Amino acid sequence: MSHFPNAKTVYGPVKSWRFGLSLGIDPIFETSTCSFNCVYCQLGHIQDITSKHKIYVATEKVLSDFKEVVDAGTQIDVITYSGSGEPTLAANLKEMIEGIRKISPNLPQYILTNATELHLPNVREALKLLDKVIVKIDAADEQLFSRVNRPAPGITLKTVLAGIHQFKSEYKGEIEIQSMFMPMNDKEFDDYATIIKDINPVAVQLNTPKRPYPLSWHRENRGNHEGIFDYEVRELKVITPDRAKEIETRLTEATGLKILSVYR
């Protein structure tokens, strides 16, 4: 399996516990930029906490980097937009999706998003072109949302959930929910179950921060799933496999949804 260097806007393929060999596309690239500054973020403390939409990296650069990977015959199961922050902040995301679709029309395209920008029609239009949209929900009330996700000014759990429901009413593809459970946020069970049941995704991914939190920004943080770190990190508190199984069982019973656990 070939791996392309972190000097590129394309990275991996990363072994995803959910999606196989996932080739990462980074529409942000230069510095970590996100509308969240999550306490568990694999990028560490976000350098630019913002909701500003702009072109962070040229579409041509992304397409050139992607074509290099394809031309090398790299095995890819899916393409996932993620990288150095919140990919929907990239004003040219739709161009990237369309360009990559022309190069590799049969490769599924997914996105990992915190859903803060789904209230914007242009963002929803871009994401409608994707095969799967994975949205982040880590909290069931505003207080915990602020503590765990530490959003940019003006972003609330209420606005995020409203954006998800608006998008779901227009989208023909699959929506999944990804949730990061830690001891600080695994108690709000009933309210969380209500939220995910109302959204009614095709699946819910239960995760826990098994990767340590970097104390400085490194682009390698995007795809380093091998546990090899040559920089200072802090270990985070995780939920146990037994607790994950308990949450999975209770959520399945409460919602009837397909629940997937990182421990399985």
CATH code of the domain in which 145 resides? 3.20.20.70
Q: Tell me which residue range forms the domain holding 170.
A: 10-261
Residue 48, in any domain of the structure:
yes
- Radius of gyration for the chain, computed over Cα atoms and rounded to the nearest angstrom: 17
What total number of domains does the chain contain? 1
Would you state the pLDDT for residue 220? 58
For the whole model, what pTM was predicted? 0.90
Terminal C-alpha separation, the chain: 24
Three-state DSSP at 245 gives helix
- Angstrom distances, CA of residue 214 to CA of 33, 39, 114, 162: 15, 11, 20, 32
Three-state DSSP at 110 gives strand
Burial of 21 (0-12, 13-18, 19+ CB in 10 A): middle
Residue 1, in any domain of the structure:
no
Residue 165, in any domain of the structure:
yes
Per-residue pLDDT of the chain (264 residues; tens, 9 = 90+): 344 446 799 998 988 877 889 999 999 998 899 999 999 888 888 999 999 999 999 999 999 999 999 999 999 999 999 989 999 999 999 999 999 999 999 999 999 999 999 999 999 999 999 999 999 999 999 999 999 999 999 999 999 999 999 999 999 999 999 999 888 887 878 999 999 999 999 999 998 876 655 555 555 555 554 444 555 655 667 778 898 899 999 999 999 999 998 776
Buried-exposed string 181-211: b where 16+ CB fall within 10 A, e elsewhere? bbeebbeeeeebbebbeebebebbbbbbbeb
Would you state the pLDDT for residue 5? 46
Residue 3, in any domain of the structure:
no
Residue 2, in any domain of the structure:
no
Which amino acid makes up residue 95? E
Residue 98, in any domain of the structure:
yes
Would you state the pLDDT for residue 244? 87
Residue 5, in any domain of the structure:
no
